[in-house]
């Protein structure tokens, strides 16, 4: 009798048995190995390999608490959302997400393509690798998944059914707390402040009433704007890359929210990479080249997204009122305003909040890390407070270059 008829959190030996029982690929395998490779905040990720054929898959299982903290009690339904989202993204943006082989609603796990021949983008950027297709691939992914799942394209009833299917209250609450609330007031006492910047943060973030008001506005917009089906966690740790390939992973935070949330997360995390480079690479031609590529990529994310968005609009929009002259540009401008705001929120929360980024925490020199953090915080404030002013890649780079403490 199968032991996988009731949910439990699996270990590596369990996953080997599971793979043999559930996957035709491994039914007759006699030498399977399994390793837990997850380094994220929420789930357990196992790589299962047939040591004889070298065939492999990823088994991802959801626990009922977050790995980052037991304070986060979570529904395991998120793995259903992730599986459904990956299948939908695979149809809208072919080749840009891993293939899903199995979703199991009893064990709350998903079996998918192994991308071990790729590298996590954050790691690759910290190793100063260049990916010529990155901006093109990510903007294609975002335009196809964001615009095509919105009211301007979908039948409105079909869209509302999707809204119901992707309601994701537990993970939305994490975002609402960690991105939109706690960085501005630490009301749950979970923030982790670098000691050298503690006084500055207390005065210029916690103590900035105008900034906190704008964050409050943005939080309620996030909670109420069911604009499209967003990935919800599209940072450089959620992208696998090779020089010739880009794969977006981990859409477990997916729900119907503002388009700019995804675009802003991509922009801000590339800015983290740009700032990391400033403080970790020695002065050289290689550093200049790498910074130039990163800045071009940041600008291209905005500019290519805009061009592809308007082009796709002309082909795919079905809503009659969305075809009114000028509406497409107005709509895009609102997305770009949200993009700037979210980029700002991400730059601030990753410095102040519980979930930090290695781009900054790995800077070993304390003075350099303190300076890097202040750069992120100052750019973040500018993006939030002046979000209506950012429409082009040049505008976004201008904020990066104009910060007074930038070196």
Q: Which residue from 337, 343, 267, 208 is spatially nearest to 216, judged by alpha carbons?
A: 208
Q: Which residue from 239, 143, 254, 201 is spatially nearest to 373, judged by alpha carbons?
A: 201
Across 33-42, 79-88, 122-131, least confident range: 33-42
Domains and CATH numbers, the chain: 12-113 (3.30.200.20), 119-402 (3.90.1200.10)
Give this prediction's pTM.
0.94
pLDDT in tens, 177-186: 999 999 999 9
C-beta contacts of 99-104 below 8 A and 24+ residues apart: 101/23, 101/57, 102/22, 102/23, 103/79, 104/4, 104/22
pLDDT, residue 403, reads 77
pLDDT, residue 318, reads 98
pLDDT in tens, 284-321: 999 999 999 999 999 999 999 999 999 999 999 999 99
For residue 80 the two structure tokens come to 């259903």
CA–CA gap between residue 224 and residue 316 (Å, rounded): 25
pLDDT, residue 66, reads 67
Place of tokens 């979908």: 154
Residue 246's DSSP bridge partners are 241
CA–CA gap between residue 22 and residue 10 (Å, rounded): 14
pLDDT of 68 strictly over 80: no
pLDDT, residue 70, reads 65
Strand 245-248 relative to strand 44-50: parallel, antiparallel, unpaired? unpaired
pLDDT in tens, 242-255: 999 999 999 999 99
Mean pLDDT value across the chain: 95
Q: Which residue from 35, 77, 43 is spatially nearest to 60, judged by alpha carbons?
A: 43
Work out the average pLDDT over 141-168: 97
In terms of residues, how long is the chain?
Answer: 407
CA–CA gap between residue 70 and residue 207 (Å, rounded): 30
Element (H, E) at 125: helix 121-126
CA–CA gap between residue 47 and residue 32 (Å, rounded): 10
Largest Cα–Cα distance of the chain, in whole Å?
67
What are the E-state strand segments in 70-159? 100-104, 109-113, 119-120
pLDDT in tens, 267-280: 999 999 999 999 99
Work out the average pLDDT over 51-60: 96
pLDDT in tens, 253-262: 999 999 999 9
Strand 44-50 relative to strand 32-36: parallel, antiparallel, unpaired? antiparallel
Across 24-38, 107-121, 159-173, least confident range: 24-38
Residue 49's DSSP bridge partners are 33, 56
pLDDT, residue 398, reads 95
pLDDT, residue 223, reads 97
Q: Are 369 and 275 in contact (CB under 8 A)?
A: no
Q: Which residue from 247, 214, 254, 220 is spatially nearest to 340, judged by alpha carbons?
A: 214
Q: Are 384 and 346 in contact (CB under 8 A)?
A: no
């Amino acid at each position: 009798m199968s032991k996988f008829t009731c949910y439990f959190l699996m270990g590596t030996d369990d996953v080997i048995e599971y793979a043999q029982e559930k996957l035709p690929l491994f039914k007759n395998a006699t030498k399977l190995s399994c390793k837990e490779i997850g380094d994220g905040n929420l789930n357990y990720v196992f790589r299962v390999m047939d040591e004889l054929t070298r065939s492999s898959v990823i088994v991802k299982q959801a626990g009922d608490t977050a790995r980052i903290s037991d304070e986060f009690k979570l529904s395991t339904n998120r793995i259903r959302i992730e599986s459904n989202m990956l299948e939908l993204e695979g149809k809208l943006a072919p080749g840009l997400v891993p293939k899903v082989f199995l979703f199991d609603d009893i064990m709350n796990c998903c079996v998918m393509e192994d991308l071990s021949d790729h590298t996590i983008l954050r790691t690759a950027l910290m190793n100063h690798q260049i990916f010529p297709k990155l901006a093109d691939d990510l903007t294609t992914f975002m335009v196809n998944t964001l615009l095509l799942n919105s009211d301007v394209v979908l039948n409105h009833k079909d869209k509302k059914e999707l809204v119901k299917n992707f309601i994701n209250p537990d993970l939305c609450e994490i975002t609402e707390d960690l991105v939109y609330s706690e960085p501005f007031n630490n009301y749950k006492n979970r923030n982790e402040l670098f000691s050298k910047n503690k006084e500055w943060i207390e005065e210029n973030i916690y103590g900035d009433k105008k900034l906190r008001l704008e964050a409050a506005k943005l939080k309620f917009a996030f909670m109420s704007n069911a604009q499209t089906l967003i990935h919800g966690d599209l940072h450089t740790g959620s992208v696998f890359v090779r020089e010739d390939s880009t794969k977006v992973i981990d859409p477990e935070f997916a729900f119907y929210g503002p388009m700019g949330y995804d675009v802003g997360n991509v922009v801000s995390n590339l800015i983290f990479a740009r700032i990391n480079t400033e403080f970790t690479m020695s002065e050289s031609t290689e550093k200049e080249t790498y910074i130039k590529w990163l800045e071009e990529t940041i600008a291209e994310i905005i500019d290519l997204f805009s061009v592809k968005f308007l082009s796709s609009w002309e082909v795919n929009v079905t809503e009659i009122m969305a075809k009114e002259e000028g509406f497409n540009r107005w709509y895009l401008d609102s997305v770009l305003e949200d993009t700037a705001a979210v980029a700002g929120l991400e730059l601030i929360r990753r410095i102040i909040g519980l979930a930090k980024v290695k781009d900054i925490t790995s800077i070993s020199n304390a003075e350099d890390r303190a300076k890097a953090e202040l750069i992120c915080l100052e750019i973040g404030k500018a993006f939030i407070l002046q979000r209506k002013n950012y429409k082009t890649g040049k505008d976004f780079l201008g904020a990066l270059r104009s910060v007074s403490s930038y070196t």
